[in-house]
Amino acid sequence: MWRCCGLRYSVKFCFLAQFKFYKPPYAFISVYLTRYYWTAIGLCTAAFLFSLVQPIVLCSTAGNCRYLQTTNTVVLETLITALDIMADLFVTSIPVLLICMAHFTRSQTIINVSFKSLSIVALAIAATRLAVQYGSRNQRIDYVLTVFLLVVEAAVAIIMASISSYRVLVIDHLAERRMKRGNEEQRKTQKFGTRPRPTSPRDRTRLSECDSDALVDSLSELPMVRAARTVPAEEVP
């Protein structure tokens, strides 16, 4: 159980470690989001420590092991599962809130939310464990099923953390396709000698943002949250 606990919370802390709210750019996004982030770290730490202490409390010695006795341990098991679910909710909601604040296109938003919210799968398994761990027949916790779901949750959490690293590859692939499409349109314009239509100040600003993205070797080097776009003088009423 300790190994499963260590694996599950290692994945949670890895997701939280991606967002360094103690230094820019994340430190200047939102005071409330920063407090929310540190609350999530505190909750995950408390839940992790509680998961480590709980087996010692329930089974301190071989002669006094409440796992093997008829003593009811529903309260402690329900509490630890509820803390696990709350920690997963905090870990999943932080990247979603950041992406909603970011200046991303629709496709980039969908990709980022899809890959950064993969820990919701572990949350679903934890909710299933909470629903089925209590055996109504013998009126106590079914530890065989509980341990099995803990192992499944730990394995799925590691798989989801590994899959989330492919987000950069997908975003880079879309950026390359967008650049190739723009180069083909530019070649067609030069070949047929057609004059490009005049662009508005807003279009020029959008093109300059795309050009600045193209200068970066990989979109993984860009911060998740960009600075707000400055309004050109022509757009000011």
Q: What percent of the chain has pLDDT over 90?
A: 4
Q: What is the pTM of this model?
A: 0.67
Which of 186, 174, 28, 202 lies closest to 104 in space, CA to CA?
174
- The confidence score (pLDDT) of residue 175 equals 75
Average pLDDT over residues 95-119: 78
Looking at beta carbons, which pairs linking 71-78 to residues 24 or more positions away fall under 8 Å?
72/139, 72/140, 73/140, 73/141, 74/134, 74/140, 74/141, 77/133, 77/141, 77/146, 78/130, 78/134
- The confidence score (pLDDT) of residue 165 equals 74
Domain ranges of the chain: 2-165, 169-193+200-226
pLDDT category at 177 given cuts 50, 70, 90 is confident
Tokens of 58: 């329930």
Tokens of 36: 């929310």
- The confidence score (pLDDT) of residue 46 equals 92
- The confidence score (pLDDT) of residue 42 equals 92
- The confidence score (pLDDT) of residue 193 equals 55
- The amino acid at 82: A
Average pLDDT over residues 124-148: 81
Phi, psi of 59 (to 5 degrees): -140, 70
pLDDT category at 219 given cuts 50, 70, 90 is very low
More confident residue, 48 or 231: 48
